[in-house]
Chains A and B, each alone.
Chain A
Amino acid sequence: MIEFIGTSKQYRLDKKIIKALDHIDLKVNKGDIFGVIGFSGAGKSTLIRTVNLLETPTEGKVIVDGKDLTTLSRRQLREEKKNIGMIFQHFNLLSSKTVFDNVAMPLTLSGVNKREIEKRVNEVLKFVGLESKTNAYIDQLSGGQKQRVGIARALVTNPKILLCDEATSALDPQTTKSILELLKRVNIEYNITILIITHEMEVIREICNRVAVMENGQIIETGNVLEIFSAPKTKTTRDFVQSVVRDEIPQSIYEQLQVANPNERIFKLKFIGVDVGQPIVSEVAKKFSVDINVLFGNITELQKIPFGNLIIEIVGADTETEKVVQFIKNRNVQIEEVLANGSKPRNYSGSDLGNAIYG
C-alpha cells in the first residue's frame, strides 16, 4: 500500500548536510496498522510527510497504492491526496469555523455539492461520536474531541490510507486510549491502512500489528509487534519495549540479592500466547533438584495475545541448572541468562520463540 524504496531526504543547514532520511526501505501492507517509533529527531516526522509529499524525497521513491506521487501532475496529485487522510499532533483545525465546516473542508475544496457534503459530514461525525457537537467551535472542545474532529475530517473523503502524525502525543492517557480505540475501528470498519508515527511505545502496543524503529534517519529494526516486543535486537528498541513492559528487577531487590548471594544465576523467561498457562516453575521445582526464587513477573497483552515476563533465580548445581534451561527451552518458552539487573544478557542461551508468534 505504501512502499518506501531507498527513500532519502537531505537538508542543507548552514553548509552542513543533514540526513533526515537515509535510504529507507519499508513496506506497509494493505490493512496494516503500521507504527514507526523513534525519539524526536529520528526522522519519523519527515518519513510520514513523504507519503503525501508534504516533504519531497531527495532520493528514492515512495509508492502509494501503486503510484509514484512525484511523477504526477499537480492536479493528479491533489486528486490522489483525497486517498490519503492525515491527522496531526496539534490537530490543525480551523478555529474560525465550526466542527461541521472543519470536517466539510476537504469536500468544499473539491466542489462537492451541499447536500452531499451534509450527508457525508453527518455520517463521519456520527462515526467519531461527535454528532452533538456539529455546530460547536473548535475552542469549545476538549483535546480528545478535537482529535475526533481531525479524524472525521481525514475520513470525509473516504481515503484508503490514514497518516497519523503523533496523533495522541498531546493527549492524556485516558483520552489516548479512546482515540486509539477509534483508530482501530477506522482500520477495521473502513478497511483503511494506517501509518502511525509516535514516540510512545504504548501506542504501538495498543493498536499496531507491525512496527519499525527509527534512529538517525534509518530504520534500525522492523517486524511484527510480537517479534519486536519479545525479541528486541537493538538497544533503542529494548529501551522502547521496557518503557511499557517492565522486565527488570526492582533496584531494591537487586541490592538485596547482591548482598545475599553475589554468585546466583538469574534467568529471564518470556512466555507468549498459550505458554502463559504453563505451570513451568512448579514443574521445574518438582523435577529437578534446584530451588527457584521468583524475582519478578508481569503479563501484558499484545494484539489479544498474552505476553509474559518472568525473572527467576535458580539455585543449584550448574549441571542441574543447565538441564532446567534445556527443559524450559523445550517447552517453547524463551529463556536467557541475565545479569542480576535483568536488562543485560550475560550470554544468550538462544531465543526460541513459541509458535504463537508466527501462527
Chain B
Amino acid sequence: MEVSREIILGAIWETLYMVSIGLFFGATLGLILGITLVVTRKGHILENRWVFGIVNPIVNIFRSIPFIILLVAIIPFTRLIVGTAIGTTAAIVPLVLHIGPYISRLIENSLLEVDEGIIEAAKAMGATPWQIIRKFLIPEAFPSLILSVTTATIGLIGATAMAGAVGGGGLGDVAITYGYQRFDEMTILVTVILLVAFVQLIQTIGNRLERHFRHSS
C-alpha cells in the first residue's frame, strides 16, 4: 500500500467531519422541508396550495441533479456561504443541498404514516398547528424518523466520495485518487473496508435507537 497511515487517518477525519456537519444542516433543512411538504398538502392542517406548489418541485429538482454536477454548479453559491469553493468545508455546502431534499422526502413519508385519527384527536383538543406538529406528529413518527435519518446518513457517506472533485478529501477521495487512479488495490481494499464498517456501525446505531423509541409493535 503506497499511502501512509497519516493519509488514511486524515481521510477518516475528513469523512466524519463532512458527514456530521453535512448531516446536521441537511437534517435541519430536510426536517423543515419535510414538515412543510406534509402540513401544506391538500386537506392537512396548514393546507397552502402556493407553498406546496413551490416547495414540492424545488425538492424534486435538487433530487434529480446528479451530485457531481451540483457540486460544480453551485460553486459561486458555496463561495458566498463559506468564502471558498475548495476544501472539506466547501464540500459541505453542496452536500447539504444534496442530502437536505432527500431527507425531506424520507421525513415526509415518515410523517404521513402517522394515523390521521391522531391529528383529529389533536384538533378536537384544540391544539394549534404548531402543537400538532411538535406534540403529535413528530413524537408519533420519531422511530420512523430515526430510520429515515439513518438511511440518509449512509447516502451522505456515499456522496462524500465525490467531494474529492472540489478538494474535499475523505475516504472516498483516497480510494479514487490513490487507489483507482494509481492502480493500488490495497488502498482501495482498506478504504472500502473502512467505509463498510462505518456504514454497518451507523445502521446498527440507527436500528438500536429506533427500537429504543418505539413503544408500539
Which residues of A line the B interface, CB within 8 A?
52, 54, 77-82, 84, 86, 88, 90-97, 105-106, 108-110, 137-139, 163
* Distance of B217 from chain A, by nearest CB (Å): 6
Interface status of B207 (Cβ within 8 A of chain A): no
Partner of A96, one of B125, B127, B131, B213: B213
Q: A94 vs B127: C-alpha distance in the bound complex, in angstroms?
A: 14
**If A92-B117, A94-B118 touch, does A109 touch B139 (CB 8 Å cutoff)?**
no
Interface string of B82-124 (1 = CB under 8 A from A): 0000000000000000000000000000000001011011011
Listed by A's residue number, 18 A-B pairs whose Cβ atoms lie within 8 Å are A77-B126, A78-B128, A80-B126, A84-B124, A90-B117, A92-B117, A92-B121, A93-B121, A94-B136, A95-B216, A96-B139, A96-B140, A96-B216, A106-B126, A109-B125, A138-B215, A139-B215, A139-B217
- Chain A contact residues, majority secondary structure: mixed
Q: Residue among A93, A95, A137, A163 with the most chain B CB within 10 A? A: A95
Q: A110 vs B128: C-alpha distance in the bound complex, in angstroms?
A: 10
* Distance of B125 from chain A, by nearest CB (Å): 5
Q: A138 vs B216: C-alpha distance in the bound complex, in angstroms?
A: 8
Partner of B121, one of A84, A86, A95, A110: A86
Establish whether residues B120 and A109, one from each chain, have CB atoms under 8 Å apart when the complex forms. Answer: no
Q: Which residue of A lies closest to B138 (CB)?
A: A96
Interface string of B189-217 (1 = CB under 8 A from A): 00000000000000000000000010111
Q: A137 vs B140: C-alpha distance in the bound complex, in angstroms?
A: 13
Q: A81 vs B118: C-alpha distance in the bound complex, in angstroms?
A: 16
Residues of B within 8 A of A54 (CB): 120, 123-124
* Distance of B199 from chain A, by nearest CB (Å): 28
Partner of B126, one of A81, A91, A92, A93: A81
Interface status of B25 (Cβ within 8 A of chain A): no
Residues of B within 8 A of A52 (CB): 124
* Distance of A79 from chain B, by nearest CB (Å): 7
Partner of A79, one of B126, B128, B143, B213: B126
Contact-size category for B: 20 to 34
Establish whether residues B117 and A95, one from each chain, have CB atoms under 8 Å apart when the complex forms. Answer: no
Residues of A within 8 A of B120 (CB): 54, 88, 92
Residues of A within 8 A of B127 (CB): 78, 109
Ranked 9 nearest A-B pairs via Cβ: A81-B126, A78-B126, A95-B216, A92-B117, A92-B121, A137-B215, A86-B124, A139-B216, A96-B139
A92-B121, A106-B125, A139-B217 known, 13 other contacts, Cβ within 8 Å: A84-B124, A88-B120, A88-B121, A90-B117, A92-B118, A94-B118, A96-B139, A105-B125, A109-B127, A109-B135, A138-B215, A139-B215, A163-B124
Interface status of B142 (Cβ within 8 A of chain A): yes
Q: A54 vs B143: C-alpha distance in the bound complex, in angstroms?
A: 28
CB interface residues, B 139-153, toward A, < 8 Å? 139-140, 142-143
Q: A81 vs B121: C-alpha distance in the bound complex, in angstroms?
A: 11
Q: Which residue of B lies closest to A85 (CB)?
A: B124
* Distance of B132 from chain A, by nearest CB (Å): 10
Establish whether residues B117 and A88, one from each chain, have CB atoms under 8 Å apart when the complex forms. Answer: yes
Establish whether residues A96 and B126, one from each chain, have CB atoms under 8 Å apart when the complex forms. Answer: no
Residues of B within 8 A of A97 (CB): 139, 215
Residues of B within 8 A of A95 (CB): 140, 215-216
Establish whether residues B135 and A108, one from each chain, have CB atoms under 8 Å apart when the complex forms. Answer: yes
* Distance of A173 from chain B, by nearest CB (Å): 23
Establish whether residues B121 and A137, one from each chain, have CB atoms under 8 Å apart when the complex forms. Answer: no
Q: Which residue of A lies closest to B124 (CB)?
A: A86
Q: A138 vs B118: C-alpha distance in the bound complex, in angstroms?
A: 13
* Distance of B159 from chain A, by nearest CB (Å): 31
* Distance of A44 from chain B, by nearest CB (Å): 16
Establish whether residues A94 and B140, one from each chain, have CB atoms under 8 Å apart when the complex forms. Answer: yes
Partner of B139, one of A86, A94, A110: A94
* Distance of A137 from chain B, by nearest CB (Å): 4
Q: A88 vs B122: C-alpha distance in the bound complex, in angstroms?
A: 12
* Distance of A11 from chain B, by nearest CB (Å): 12
Q: A89 vs B201: C-alpha distance in the bound complex, in angstroms?
A: 42
Establish whether residues A109 and B142, one from each chain, have CB atoms under 8 Å apart when the complex forms. Answer: no
Establish whether residues A105 and B135, one from each chain, have CB atoms under 8 Å apart when the complex forms. Answer: yes
Q: Which residue of B lies closest to A89 (CB)?
A: B117
Residues of A within 8 A of B118 (CB): 92, 94
Q: A223 vs B67: C-alpha distance in the bound complex, in angstroms?
A: 69
Q: Which residue of A lies closest to B213 (CB)?
A: A96
* Distance of B133 from chain A, by nearest CB (Å): 13
Interface string of B165-203 (1 = CB under 8 A from A): 000000000000000000000000000000000000000
Q: Residue among A78, A92, A93 with the most chain B CB within 10 A? A: A92
Q: A100 vs B213: C-alpha distance in the bound complex, in angstroms?
A: 17
Partner of A82, one of B117, B126, B131: B126
Establish whether residues A137 and B216, one from each chain, have CB atoms under 8 Å apart when the complex forms. Answer: yes
* Distance of B137 from chain A, by nearest CB (Å): 10
Partner of A81, one of B125, B131, B140: B125
Q: A102 vs B106: C-alpha distance in the bound complex, in angstroms?
A: 27
